[in-house]
Amino acid sequence: MQYQVGKPGRIVVARFSDGEDVLGGISELCRTENIRAACFNVVGGMKGGRFVVGPETEEMPPIPVWRELQESHEATGFGTIFWDKDQPKVHFHGAYGKKDSVKAGCLREGSEAFLVLEVVITEILDVCVIRELDPASNMVLMKMP
């Protein structure tokens, strides 16, 4: 295990309206505000998105198993933001519920808010954390240089 100790910086509260791109909006907000490291919470509704529910097998590199939201769902979850070269990279795991069905996974594409989605971002100061391509997994993973 590796770790660093930081402290909280700015806290940003964002509201996404119906149809807005959640992952893209969080990335844009971090570029605009120059937030280099952060964690965030999400609560509200989503009506679109593709997420990964695990690898097909335990072999490397992992082959993702995809699922898709195609209608409105309640959504909640937690994520981190660290930069990959010159871009913020969002990593978010959430739960998505509709009636008696609940799905959970790593949201990666096509994130679309339903009605309203609230995001609270807490900037993390005094840490040196980036995202970098890991050759074994072929994924962009958190790294502490």
pLDDT in tens, 67-96: 999 999 999 999 999 999 999 999 999 999
Instruction: Let me know if domain 7-143 sits in CATH 3.20.20.70.
Output: no
pLDDT for 32 equals 98
Query: From residue 32, how far is each of 4, 26, 72, 99, 109 by CA, in Å?
Result: 25, 10, 29, 37, 21
Mean pLDDT, the chain, whole residue set: 97
H/E element, 143: strand 139-143
What value does the mean pLDDT take over residues 126-138? 97
pLDDT for 104 equals 98
pLDDT for 129 equals 98
- Residues contacting 68, CB < 8 A, separation 6+: 49, 50, 51, 110
Query: From residue 62, how far is each of 45, 87, 114, 136 by CA, in Å?
Result: 29, 24, 31, 9
* Residues 100, 130: Cα–Cα separation, whole Å: 38
CB 53 within 8 A of CB 8: no
pLDDT for 8 equals 98
Task: Give all strands (DSSP E) within 4-134, no chain letters.
Answer: 7-17, 37-55, 64-69, 73-84, 87-98, 101-125, 130-134
